[in-house]
Amino acid sequence: MPPGVPRVRAGVVRIVDHGDATTVLGADGMTRRFDGDSAALLRAVLDAHAIACTRDQLLASLRAIAEGGEVPEAPVDELVALLERAGVLVPAAAAEAPAAAARPLAGRRVVVAITGAVAAVDAPALVRGLLAAGCELRIALTRTARRFVTPEVLEALTHQRAYRGLWDRDATCPVPHVNLAEWAELVVVSPASATSIARIARGDASDLVSAIVCATRAPVVIVPSMNDAMRTSPAVARNLDTLRGDGRHVVHPAMGVEVAHRPGQRASQLGPAPPAAAVLDVVAHVLSREPRPVVVPAGADEWERVYATAPLPQLPWWSDALDDDLDALLAELAAAHAGARLVDLGTGPGTVAIGAARRGFEVTASDVSPSALAVARRRAGGLPILFVLDDVTRSQLRGGFDVAHDRGLLHVLPRAAWPAYASQLARLVVPGGTLVVKAHDASSAPACGTTPLAAADVDALLGGAFELRRATASTLPGPGGRAPAATLFVLARRV
């Protein structure tokens, strides 16, 4: 590795000290023992690489330890090269890449339901994996699960209460099986004992886990865990068939051992739950097929939190490219209003503002979120767009816009704010100017958490100052190919 490239200790190393000796078990399969001064130098090199450092920085660190004494460079270079071959020192960029990667399940809400199979001892590993992937977690345990894993361990990991029964209520969760069932985007029962599988299959809600599964509309992943004889018995096989028929996701077992047998007599057999990493992969796959539920932020602070923390390309309204019908309409309006002023209300990632600027409009883009404006400004590059922090319901913008554009703003405003929106638009748009509004229709709004808009609604709200010229069926494209039904309204400011 070139001397100027920063190196850092690998995240996991296999190194052990014993007396004045240090042994390195390398990733290359080699075992290397260092004694005396060599071991002391090794430990100093490892300490220096606790943070990324170059060769020059390493040598400076070693000279400081030697209090200005001579540090022979050749042995240091030889040791560093050996540690690189052993996988102990790695390029800093490679070590930082996984930590910098976006968490793939950020914000997804998962209930981890744990039942009384011995594989419950692995539940903390699954919880840690889901947390590392970005999930928000709630934990539910059966009484027998607590023989294998304590609620306190799970609460220490999640900083959330681990619910232990149907009546284990608190102020935030007064009816646990209902509240958790409604909160979840996915429920994973891992491990699922034969008893819990039977309860779920017959709709028996007599314990917390089976009640959550019965009450949820979210997808459910069942991770059976038992020995091979029990798994293949007619009753359990029928129950698993029932779960599959009910639309549950049933995970195939792994190879393992029966702990009821003495350790020296255990033979590998099919039946136990797969390792936590495999269950995590299944959960990620199922969630990838489920659209994220839309929770519309309630105010400027919540919009800012969304844009500051959420994985932006996964936001339901995110679109890299301008909608085809909006692009065509901008071309039409640009031809009619050459060099006109356009305001993009609730610009979000700035897609409309960017498209309008490319069509030759003099563009002002407003939003209540500073982080949204920062994203839009970055995406716009050098385009001449004025980005303004502003709330359309009490706008500080000066009037005189030839075109006002609203892609998905009005339908996320509370109805109580609609009159203020209408009043501000009447002030901002010049007589003879154009107002463009795109909003979800009645078929898509309930699932999107928005308020549907029909022509009658738009006319009742804006008809005093605007004339509705046309309302055409459309969509609001988002990530993953999703495109909820919408209506595109074009209105003219009355003269």
pLDDT recorded at residue 107: 78
Whole-number average pLDDT of the chain = 90
The Cα angle at residue 385 between residues 383 and 388, in degrees rounded to 5: 150
Q: pLDDT band for position 336 (50/70/90)? A: confident
What are 219's two structure tokens? 């997808």
Q: pLDDT band for position 293 (50/70/90)? A: low
Give the Cβ contact number of residue 172 at 10 Å: 10
pLDDT recorded at residue 100: 40
Q: What is the pLDDT of residues 180-223, one digit of tens each?
A: 998 899 999 999 999 999 999 999 999 999 999 999 989 999 99
pLDDT recorded at residue 467: 96
pLDDT recorded at residue 296: 63
- pLDDT over 70, % of the chain: 96
What are 125's two structure tokens? 């590993």
pTM for this structure? 0.60
Mean pLDDT, rounded, for 167-183: 87
Name the least confident of 139-143, 260-264, 376-380.
Answer: 260-264
What are 363's two structure tokens? 């563009």
362/65 Cα distance (integer angstroms): 62
Q: pLDDT band for position 99 (50/70/90)? A: very low
288/362 Cα distance (integer angstroms): 40
pLDDT recorded at residue 153: 95
Q: Which residue has the tokens 């009619």?
A: 336
Q: What is the pLDDT of residues 33-81, one digit of tens each?
A: 999 999 999 999 999 998 989 999 999 899 888 876 788 899 999 999 9
How far is residue 229 CA from its own chain's centroid?
39
The Cα angle at residue 19 between residues 14 and 23, in degrees rounded to 5: 25
pLDDT recorded at residue 201: 96
Q: What is the pLDDT of residues 389-420, one digit of tens each?
A: 999 999 999 879 999 999 999 999 989 999 99
Mean pLDDT, rounded, for 373-386: 94
Name the least confident of 96-100, 341-345, 474-478, 491-495.
Answer: 96-100
Three-state SS annotation for the chain: CCCCCCEEECCCCCEEEECCEEEEECCCCCEEEEEHHHHHHHHHHHHHCCCCECHHHHHHHHHHHCCCCCCCHHHHHHHHHHHHHCCCEEEHHHHHHHHHCCCCCCCCEEEEEECCCHHHHHHHHHHHHHHHCCCEEEEEECCHHHHCCCHHHHHHHHCCCEECCCCCCECCECCHHHHHHHHCCEEEEEEECHHHHHHHHCCCCCCHHHHHHHHCCCCEEEEECCCHHHHCCHHHHHHHHHHHHCCCEECCCCEECCCCCCHHHCCCEECCCCCHHHHHHHHHHHHHCCCCCCCCCCCHHHHHHHHHHCCHHHCCCCCCCCCHHHHHHHHHHHHHCCCCEEEEECCCCCHHHHHHHHCCCEEEEEECCHHHHHHHHHHHCCCCEEEEECCHHHCCCCCCEEEEEEECCHHHCCHHHHHHHHHHHHHHEEEEEEEEEEEECCCCHHHHCCCCCCHHHHHHHHCCCEEEEEEEEEECCCHHHCCCEEEEEEEEECC
Name the least confident of 61-70, 271-280, 486-495.
Answer: 61-70
User: What angle in degrees, to the nearest 10, is found between the helix axes of 208-215 and 194-201?
Assistant: 40
Cβ proximity of 369 and 300 under 8 Å:
yes
Cβ proximity of 354 and 379 under 8 Å:
yes
- pLDDT over 90, % of the chain: 70
Whether the pLDDT of residue 97 is over 70: the answer is no
491, 474, 493: which is closest to 408 by C-alpha?
Answer: 474
Domains of the chain, with CATH numbers? 7-99 (3.90.930), 109-288 (3.40.50.1950), 300-493 (3.40.50.150)
397, 185, 389, 363: which is closest to 303 by C-alpha?
Answer: 389
**Contacting residues for 321 by C-beta, under 8 A, at least 6 apart:** 351
Burial of 285 (0-12, 13-18, 19+ CB in 10 A): exposed
Cβ proximity of 400 and 341 under 8 Å:
yes
